[in-house]
Structures are given as structure tokens and as C-alpha cells.
């Protein structure tokens, strides 16, 4: 089994990983880190939970150590995911305060983000919309950016962030190493990779659409008239929390309201809002 030092990771980062209880690299880390450390663009497909965050944070930090005047930017689809990545970076950098970073996400105070940017952070982590907000108000410059990470690109395209991503890419005026991660690589992402990446190293880890081994799946065939009654019976047979996916916002609100009348503690979540019934 390989260790992180065999992947070309400097000892101080290996020590930090050990303190976090991370000693053996996952498959995506074994394949992506050496290529990224050598400066290659990456087009990678792997599931959530495969270790992608460490797979791009380590090459990013090594890249920045080599070029003291350069910066890096990590773009993610949601503020929750961006916050998680920032937390991972903080844990990894517990041994060093040399790498200041800024978290640029919607729903957070703009004055706090402006204060972070005034400190000239070398690592930017954020969501497409808020990053564009800062570019448009000229509180953010990407002129010195040499490392770009696009994580969960499939979700960003699903959310309609193509224009924002293009705007950010155009704001990067220097040559940039780009790492693109996605659960799947459909035609839309292939086309995007052709514009964003230069002769990328392609990595596929596992089958992105296959179920996890520890997840039990079952199907129940019912007609439309029986769906609601069957759902209620399934919910009554369970004591855990349950997530129900529906097609529309209206459908989510209607279903939650109906379940609440039958003494279920139901909430409809959509459009970044939570509705209590």
C-alpha cells in the first residue's frame, strides 16, 4: 500500500495528515496527486466520499509553496460544500499559518468577506455566484491565480452556473493549472473540459452511478392512485429520519402539508428555504 510520501508529498504535509488520522491515500488520491504535483491538468470522475478534497488540496499547497506570489481558487456548487472544504483546509494547515484563505459564499456577511480579501489571501474558496459578485465590484482580482479547482462540476452545471464559471475563467489572466472533478462526465462536461483544460490526465475511479455497497435498495411498483397510501405505510413502518424527493417545489410543499395532517413532522425544503407545517 502506498503512503503519501511516496506520492511526492513533503514531510510537513504528511505529518499533518498523520495527525488527522489519514495515513493511506485513497485510489483517487493515488492517481490524481502525482500528476497534479507535476503540473498536469486533471479531469477526474469519482463519487462523493472518495477523498477528492485531499486529492486537490495537497497539490494546490505544493504549487503555492513553489510560487510564493501566486494564488489558487477552489469553486464549489454550494456554500455547505465550500464550508466543508474550508474546514478541511484549516485542519490540514494546523501546523502553518502561511496560507491565508478567504471563504466567499452567498448568505454570509459581505463585510467579513471584504475583510478577508483585504489580507491578500493566497487561497480562495467559494461558490460561483458570490465569486462573481466580488469580481464585479472589483473587490477580487484573479490576476495572480495559477491554480484552479472545479469540484462537483456536474452539480454546478445542474444549478445553471455555466455563465458564472465562464466569467471567472475569463478573469484569470495568467497561465493556470486546472483540476476538474465530477461524479460523471457527460457530453456537457466533456465540452467544458475542452475549453478549460490542456491535455488533461483523465482519471476514473469506480463507477460513479453504482450504489454504495452498504446501502440497501428496494423498489415498490404501484400505480399513481396508490402512491400516497403506500408512502404513508412505509413511513409508519420506520422510526428514522426520511428524505423524500419530489419533482417540483409545489409538489414538495403539498406532500409535506399532507403528511403533517397525519401527525408526521414534515418539512418542505426547496429554493434554499425551509417551510414548516
3-state secondary structure labels for all residues of 22-36: CCCCCHHHHHHHHHH
Using one digit for the tens of pLDDT, what is the confidence trace for 151-177? 999 999 999 999 999 999 999 999 999
- Exposed/middle/buried for 164, CB within 10 Å: 0-12, 13-18, 19+? buried
* pTM recorded for the entire structure: 0.75
Name the superfamily (CATH) of residues 5-204: P-loop containing nucleotide triphosphate hydrolases (3.40.50.300)
Ranges for all domains in the chain classified under CATH 3.40.50.300: 5-204
Q: Using only the alpha carbons of the chain, give its radius of gyration.
A: 21
CA distance 153 to 32: 17
Is the model's pLDDT at 13 over the cut of 70? yes
Phi, psi of 181 (to 5 degrees): -120, 140
Q: Cβ neighbours of residue 146 under 8 Å, at least 6 residues apart?
A: 63, 67, 70, 71, 72, 174, 175, 176, 177
Q: At residue 154, what are phi and psi to the nearest 5 degrees?
A: -60, -40
Which residue from 205, 159, 160, 212 is spatially nearest to 185, judged by alpha carbons?
A: 205
CA distances from 163 to 116, 125, 129, 147 (A): 25, 18, 10, 20
The string of pLDDT tens digits covering residues 44-75 is: 998 777 899 999 999 999 999 888 899 999 99
Amino acid at each position: 500500500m502506498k503512503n503519501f510520501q511516496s506520492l511526492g508529498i513533503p514531510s510537513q504535509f504528511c505529518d499533518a495528515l498523520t495527525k488527522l488520522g489519514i495515513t493511506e491515500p485513497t485510489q483517487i488520491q493515488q492517481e490524481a496527486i502525482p500528476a497534479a504535483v507535476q503540473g498536469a491538468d486533471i479531469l477526474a470522475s469519482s463519487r462523493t466520499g472518495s477523498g477528492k478534497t485531499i486529492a486537490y488540496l495537497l497539490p494546490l499547497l505544493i504549487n503555492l509553496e513553489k510560487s510564493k506570489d501566486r494564488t489558487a481558487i477552489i469553486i464549489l456548487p454550494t456554500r455547505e460544500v465550500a464550508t466543508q472544504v474550508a474546514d478541511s483546509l484549516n485542519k490540514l494547515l494546523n501546523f502553518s499559518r502561511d496560507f491565508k484563505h478567504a471563504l466567499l459564499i452567498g448568505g454570509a456577511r459581505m463585510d467579513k468577506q471584504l475583510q478577508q480579501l483585504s489580507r491578500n489571501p493566497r487561497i480562495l474558496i467559494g461558490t460561483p455566484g458570490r465569486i462573481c459578485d466580488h469580481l464585479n465590484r472589483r473587490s477580487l482580482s484573479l490576476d495572480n491565480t495559477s491554480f484552479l479547482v472545479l469540484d462537483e462540476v456536474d452539480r454546478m452545471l445542474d444549478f445553471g452556473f455555466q455563465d458564472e464559471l465562464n466569467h471567472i475563467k475569463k478573469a484569470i489572466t495568467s497561465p493556470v493549472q486546472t483540476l476538474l472533478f465530477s461524479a460523471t462526465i457527460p457530453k456537457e462536461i466533456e465540452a467544458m473540459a475542452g475549453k478549460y483544460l490542456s491535455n488533461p490526465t483523465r482519471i476514473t475511479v469506480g463507477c460513479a452511478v453504482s450504489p454504495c455497497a452498504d446501502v440497501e435498495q428496494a423498489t415498490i411498483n404501484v400505480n399513481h392512485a396508490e402512491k400516497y397510501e403506500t408512502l404513508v405505510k412505509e413511513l409508519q413502518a420506520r422510526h428514522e429520519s426520511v428524505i423524500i424527493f419530489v419533482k417540483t417545489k409545489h409538489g414538495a410543499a403539498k406532500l409535506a402539508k399532507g403528511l403533517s395532517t397525519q401527525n408526521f413532522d414534515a418539512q418542505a425544503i426547496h429554493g434554499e428555504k425551509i417551510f414548516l407545517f
